[in-house]
């Protein structure tokens, strides 16, 4: 019996290394598990490459036919068809109370929190099409409740939702933007100069290429729904404490999304892509601030790749493929322009910037190292009210270079290393806090870990119990510092 395809497209003469795999992903993702996609191709090499792709991705190559120079391939999408799950009735939208102010010497996490194993399974099932969106969101609601409760038990002053709904700190935006998709890195290997080396590098970090997803741009970026508004709205229903929301920064997103032979089909150059990235993030930040976020934090860890990575390195940073970069001075100027544009007209005191040197592995040897000295001129020229910085690890250098930052900005000082199981003592943390107070004054100091506890859902750098204990130690140290400097405890 012949099989009737549910969707079909003609790939012409594209081969798997020149766009065909991404077109397949674009057409197969909207299908339900078990549905069939027909791919037509006039490129002979697809005959050998497509079966390997199907094996890597778990999709089933059902048949191959040929009519003249055109070959036809039927591919059954992996997964089990989903039962219909009725969406619960939406509750009436509550009035949005104003965001509480962030007080001096406040304690906060950077963003991410270790996800429960059952949520990680749900996240994978959702991305693979095996779990309905409504059911995933209900699971994620439960995980957010647990993450916020742990932060509150620890004594944190400003909470996050732990980024529980995200596969990682940056690429999640591909599931929220129009004309952008999360695609497995296996689909991108043909575009990498050395695919075997790239995949081996990911495996060395315990993140196999077949499990990593990357944002791919297929057309002009459109923000038809909020990137994180749903995260903020739910978090504010389960806590009365100020809530911070982290977003990937405009430079990071531009570098990540600009992939030759993919994004250049939608944008003539990365500057054009950057303009739309900035517009999306500026609108999102404004929405989050208007709906009660105490702080919106832009994550720009890749800035350290610009100044500390070897000039000849084509680096895989934080398990993501980065587009090309130019000379450091040129890249920092580009990054500065994007950040300034993204935060234009936003209240400076409610905008933060986070910078670290890599958080995908507990092995300190694989992360970048270097003091903030080459980045301070960039920081000083940004209309940013708070800098949330990695400072507990020796890789980050000393506090002293940061003394040149504007006197009206606050410094979130990293006082514990999130990658280690040892719980720093209150005395150690107080000593780090005191050093920061001597340099900046107590009104300008906030306290935080060096980075998130689970930047990548599949590769947390700490267990939830360790994360809670470390935040608890920071909170006790903050209490000591508040007593010394006359702030309410």
Domains delineated in the chain = 7-76 (3.30.110.40), 117-485 (3.20.20.210)
Distances, alpha carbon 456 to alpha carbons 80, 325, 391, in Å = 26, 24, 21
Q: What is the pLDDT of residue 458?
A: 85
Q: What is the pLDDT of residue 316?
A: 46
Q: What is the pLDDT of residue 191?
A: 64
Q: How far apart are CA 297 and CA 453, in angstroms?
A: 16
Over the chain, what HEC string results?
CCCCCCEEEECCCCCCCCCHHHHHHHHHCCCCCCCEEEEEECCCCHHHHHHHHHHHHCCEEEEEEEECCEEEEEEECCCCCCCCCCCCCCCCCCCCCCCCCCCCCCEECCCECCCCHHHHHHHHHHHCCCCCHHHHHHHHHHHHHHHHHHHHHHCCCEECCECCCCCECCHHHHHCCEEEEEEEHHHCHHHCCCHHHHHHHHHHCCCCHHHCEEEEEEEEEECCCCCCHHHHHHHHHHCCCCEEEEEECHHHHHHHHCCCCCHHHCCCCHHHHHHHHHHHHHHHHHHHHHCCCCEEEEECCCHHHHHHCCCCCCCEECCEECCCCCCHHHHHHHHHHHHHHHCCCCCHHHEEEEECCCCCCCCHHHCCCCCCHHHHHHHHCCCCCEEEECCCCHHHCCCHHHHHCCCCCEEEEEEECCCCCCCCCHHHHHHHHHHHHHHHCHHHEEEEECCCCCCECCCCCCCHHHHHHHHHHHHHHHHHHHHHHCCCC
Average pLDDT by stretches of 10, the chain with 489 residues:
84 78 81 88 87 78 88 83 54 62 95 96 89 95 98 98 95 92 74 67 57 80 95 97 97 86 79 95 97 97 89 49 74 96 95 91 82 96 97 95 95 97 98 97 97 91 96 98 87
Q: Which residues contact 301 (CB under 8 A, 6 or more apart)?
A: 252, 317, 318, 354, 355, 356, 357, 358, 359, 451
Q: What pTM does this model have?
A: 0.83
Question: CA gyration radius for the chain?
Answer: 23
Q: How far apart are CA 195 and CA 50, in angstroms?
A: 16
Q: How far apart are CA 246 and CA 159, in angstroms?
A: 11
Interval 265-306: pLDDT, tens:
788 888 999 999 999 999 999 999 999 999 999 999 999 989
């Amino acid at each position: 019996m012949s099989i009737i395809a549910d969707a079909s497209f003609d790939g012409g003469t594209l081969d798997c290394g020149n766009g065909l795999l991404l077109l397949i992903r674009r057409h197969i993702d909207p299908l339900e598990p078990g549905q069939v996609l027909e791919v037509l191709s006039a490129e002979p090499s697809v005959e050998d490459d497509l079966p390997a792709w199907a094996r890597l991705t778990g999709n089933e190559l059902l048949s191959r036919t040929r009519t003249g120079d055109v070959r036809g391939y039927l591919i059954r999408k992996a997964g089990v068809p989903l039962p219909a799950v009725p969406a619960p009735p939406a509750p009436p939208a509550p009035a949005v109370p104003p965001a509480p102010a962030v007080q001096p010497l406040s304690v906060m996490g950077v963003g991410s929190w270790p996800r429960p194993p059952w949520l990680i399974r749900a996240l994978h099932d959702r991305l693979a099409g095996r779990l309905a969106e409504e059911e995933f969101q209900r699971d994620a609601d439960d995980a957010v409740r647990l993450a916020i409760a742990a932060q509150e038990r620890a004594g944190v002053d400003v909470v996050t939702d732990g980024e529980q709904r995200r596969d990682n700190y940056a690429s999640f935006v591909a599931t929220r933007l129009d004309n952008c998709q999360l695609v497995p890195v296996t689909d991108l290997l043909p575009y990498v100069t050395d695919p075997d080396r790239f995949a081996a590098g990911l495996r060395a970090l315990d993140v196999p290429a077949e499990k990593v997803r990357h944002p791919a741009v297929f057309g002009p970026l459109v923000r038809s729904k909020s990137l994180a508004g749903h995260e903020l709205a739910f978090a504010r229903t389960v806590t009365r404490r100020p809530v911070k929301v982290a977003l990937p920064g405009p430079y990071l997103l531009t570098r990540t999304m600009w992939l030759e032979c993919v994004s250049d089909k939608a944008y003539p150059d990365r500057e054009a892509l950057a303009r739309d990235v900035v517009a999306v993030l500026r609108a999102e930040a404004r929405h989050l601030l208007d709906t009660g976020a105490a702080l919106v934090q832009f994550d720009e860890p890749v800035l350290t790749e610009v100044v500390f990575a070897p000039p000849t390195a084509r680096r895989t940073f934080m398990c993501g493929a980065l587009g090309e970069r130019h000379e450091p001075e040129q890249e920092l100027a580009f990054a500065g322009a994007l950040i300034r544009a993204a935060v234009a007209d936003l209240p400076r005191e409610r905008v933060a910037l986070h910078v670290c040197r890599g958080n995908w592995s507990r092995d300190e040897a694989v992360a970048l190292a270097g003091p903030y000295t080459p980045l301070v001129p960039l920081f000083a020229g940004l209309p940013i009210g708070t800098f949330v910085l990695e400072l507990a690890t020796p890789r980050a250098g000393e506090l002293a270079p940061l003394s040149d930052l504007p006197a009206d900005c606050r410094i979130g000082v990293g006082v514990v290393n999130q990658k280690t199981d040892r719980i720093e003592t209150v005395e150690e943390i107080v000593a780090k806090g005191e050093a920061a107070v001597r340099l900046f004054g107590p009104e300008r100091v906030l306290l935080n870990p060096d980075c998130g506890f689970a930047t990548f859902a599949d590769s947390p750098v700490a267990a939830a119990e360790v994360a809670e204990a470390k935040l608890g130690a920071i909170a006790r140290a903050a209490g000591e510092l508040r007593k010394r400097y006359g702030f309410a405890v």
